[in-house]
């Protein structure tokens, strides 16, 4: 395939960009150094560039010059997220993060580099495009809803009309053989919501709890009651997950504190279960607090919706992977993943799909660390393949839309 061979010729440049991004990770919606590197890489290519207002996003539009282009030009969107995580890297790589407390532990440096590579290839194949391609370089995926910000600022209509199809790729540092692609039709990833709870009691001496209102025992009961609620009130075939990740109270062992606090992540896969969780979780916690005569503040925040892929677009991704790399390189996932993605917001409005690509080490002496681990590593060898897939998805979908 010409696209694949062209991508492999670019591998050195793509790898160099990935290493430079990895060394200077940035967190959240403001990624000025990352934006600068992307703009530098796009310089000289025939893209119409626009920058975000509330975030350092980059939107790049390529106008195809292929035969059949008309006023109702088809539009394909390709997305790559750019932000890092608040972790101290301990991979030992030569190009490890130079920024204390920040690391590209979820592979977004690979996504950005692959999308830049696709920009170069698509510009080279511009005469095969009878429509427009929108490249969505997105900050703030890791809990900042960067996709939502970019949608509000018009990325889905950046070419002058709504995108007809949208595609994203996400690398994984473990869990599958190196170079393997995977996706599924329908629900691919869970919805994500956040729960913050503060129990307000009355402090006192640890030797005399009857003279205080102990928030610690109350919040401990809440933690276990939430797990019972999950198993008793929700269908096992429509699962939900609630995991407490923060539990804070007190300063010394013989002091009953005034308050206790917890934070949890809540995952679900259907609108029905998600709506039910938002109702029953506060009710349960308020009931426990009332039973113990204390006050409670419950903050239940809806975050990312489930990532739901289009059947036709997922089938297209499978065919394109087969054409580029062979049928055995694509796996149809049986079950969704428990993680969440703000690309779900794009897929709510535009038919598309999301494809995982294993960048697990080719040879490892120990089990590979998963995404979000400070020891997670991603193989540069998959960069050309991801670049080729981005490019060919756009070319293939454009040809069909313009046909």
| Beta-bridge mates of residue 281 | none
H/E run at residue 181: strand 181-183
Q: How far is CA 343 from each of CA 190, 191, 354, rounded to the nearest angstrom?
A: 12, 11, 8
Residues 6+ apart with CB under 8 A from 106: 84, 85, 142, 371, 372, 376
CA distance linking residue 82 with residue 41, whole number of Å: 14
One-character DSSP codes across 230-270: HHHHS-TTS--EEEEEEEEE-SSTTEE-SEEEEEEEEEESS
Q: Which two tokens stand for residue 210?
A: 């009857």
Residue 9 corresponds to which tokens in the numbers above? 């010729």
Alpha-carbon distance of 398 to 68, in angstroms, equals 11
Going by the annotation, the residues of the binding site are 106, 108, 142, 170, 372
Q: Quick one: 224 exposed, middle or buried, by C-beta within 10 A (0-12, 13-18, 19+)?
A: exposed
What crossing angle do the helices spanning 108-124 and 2-9 adopt, rounded to 10°?
Answer: 120
What's the residue count for the chain?
A: 403
Q: What Rg do the C-alpha atoms of the chain give, in angstroms?
A: 24
Residues annotated within the binding site for Mn(2+) are 106, 108, 142, 170, 372
Q: Is 12 helix (H, G, I), strand (E, B) or coil?
A: helix
């Amino acid at each position: 395939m010409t696209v694949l061979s062209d991508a492999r010729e670019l591998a050195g440049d793509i790898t160099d960009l990935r290493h430079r991004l990895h060394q200077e990770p940035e967190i959240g919606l403001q990624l000025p150094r990352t934006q600068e590197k992307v703009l530098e890489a796009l310089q000289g290519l025939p893209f119409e560039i626009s920058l975000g207002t509330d975030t350092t996003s980059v939107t790049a539009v390529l106008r195809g010059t292929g035969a059949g282009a008309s006023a109702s030009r088809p539009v394909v969107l390709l997305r790559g997220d750019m932000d890092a995580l608040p972790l101290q890297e301990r991979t030992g790589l030569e190009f490890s993060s130079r920024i204390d407390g920040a690391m590209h532990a979820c592979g977004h440096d690979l996504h950005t580099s692959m999308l830049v590579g696709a920009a170069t290839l698509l510009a080279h194949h511009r005469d095969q495009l009878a429509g427009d391609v929108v490249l969505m370089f997105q900050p703030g995926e890791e809990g900042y809803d960067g996709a939502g910000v970019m949608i509000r600022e018009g990325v889905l209509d950046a070419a002058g009309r709504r995108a007809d199809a949208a595609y994203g790729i996400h690398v994984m540092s473990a869990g599958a053989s190196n170079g393997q692609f995977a996706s599924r039709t329908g629900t691919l990833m869970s919805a994500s919501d956040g729960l913050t709870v503060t129990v307000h009691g009355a402090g006192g001496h640890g030797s005399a709890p009857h003279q205080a209102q102990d928030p610690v025992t109350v919040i401990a009961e809440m933690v276990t009651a939430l797990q019972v609620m999950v198993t008793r009130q929700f269908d096992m075939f429509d699962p939900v997950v609630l995991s407490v990740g923060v539990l804070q109270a007190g300063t010394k062992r013989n002091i009953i504190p005034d308050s206790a606090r917890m934070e949890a992540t809540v995952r679900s896969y259907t609108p029905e279960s998600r709506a039910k969780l938002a109702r029953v979780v506060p009710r349960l916690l308020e009931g426990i607090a009332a039973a113990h005569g204390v006050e409670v503040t419950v903050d239940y925040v809806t975050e990312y919706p489930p990532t739901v892929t289009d059947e036709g677009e997922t089938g297209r991704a499978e065919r394109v992977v087969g054409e580029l790399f062979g049928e055995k390189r694509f796996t149809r996932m049986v079950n969704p993943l428990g993680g969440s993605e703000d690309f779900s917001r794009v897929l709510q409005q535009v038919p598309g799909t999301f494809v995982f690509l294993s960048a697990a080490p080719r040879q490892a002496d120990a089990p590979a660390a998963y995404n979000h681990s400070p020891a997670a590593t991603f193989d540069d060898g998959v960069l050309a393949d991801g670049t080729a897939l981005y490019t060919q998805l756009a070319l293939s979908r454009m040809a069909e839309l313009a046909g």
